[in-house]
């Protein structure tokens, strides 16, 4: 659909993901340690992290329950990434599997019960 020539225009300036967490300090530490996140902003209720050029917001929700969050992180070494997740307090949910020729994925969980995917090509 095209915009009317006289209508004001809007530009999307950024797209980011928001992940609910129970414990902001623990969650922030996990993403920094496991995935090398850079903390751009931190507060008790909201923190902004940058991981591989993408912003991931952590939103405090004390009632948050475990869920699959739809994030996928492409990594250079899946075995090292899995070990980093565990070392940072996360869990490996399922064994790594090859989903296409040369594409191996692993489902992992952060310290807040959020499940996401690590992918190596």
- Tell me: pLDDT of 1 over 80: no
Q: What is the residue extent of each domain of the chain?
A: 17-120
Report residue 2's pLDDT band, with 50, 70 and 90 as the boundaries.
low
pLDDT tens readout for residues 58-76: 999 999 999 999 999 999 9
The larger pLDDT score, comparing residue 18 to residue 6, is at: 18
pLDDT tens readout for residues 87-101: 999 999 999 999 999
Instruction: Note the pLDDT of residue 6.
Output: 73
Measure Cα distances from 54 to 1, 2, 111 in Å.
Answer: 28, 29, 20
Instruction: Note the pLDDT of residue 46.
Output: 98
* CATH class entry, domain 17-120: alpha beta
């Amino acid at each position: 659909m095209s915009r009317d020539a006289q209508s004001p225009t809007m530009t999307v300036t950024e797209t980011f993901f928001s992940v609910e967490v129970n414990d902001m300090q623990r969650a922030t530490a996990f993403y920094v340690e496991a995935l090398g996140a850079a903390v751009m902003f931190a507060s008790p209720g909201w923190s902004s992290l940058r991981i591989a050029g993408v912003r991931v917001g952590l939103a405090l929700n004390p009632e948050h329950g475990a869920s699959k969050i739809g994030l996928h992180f492409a990594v250079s070494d899946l075995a090292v990434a899995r070990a980093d997740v565990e070392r940072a307090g996360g869990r490996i949910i399922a064994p790594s599997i090859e989903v296409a020729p040369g594409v191996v994925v692993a489902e992992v969980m952060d310290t807040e019960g959020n499940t996401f995917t690590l992918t190596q090509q």
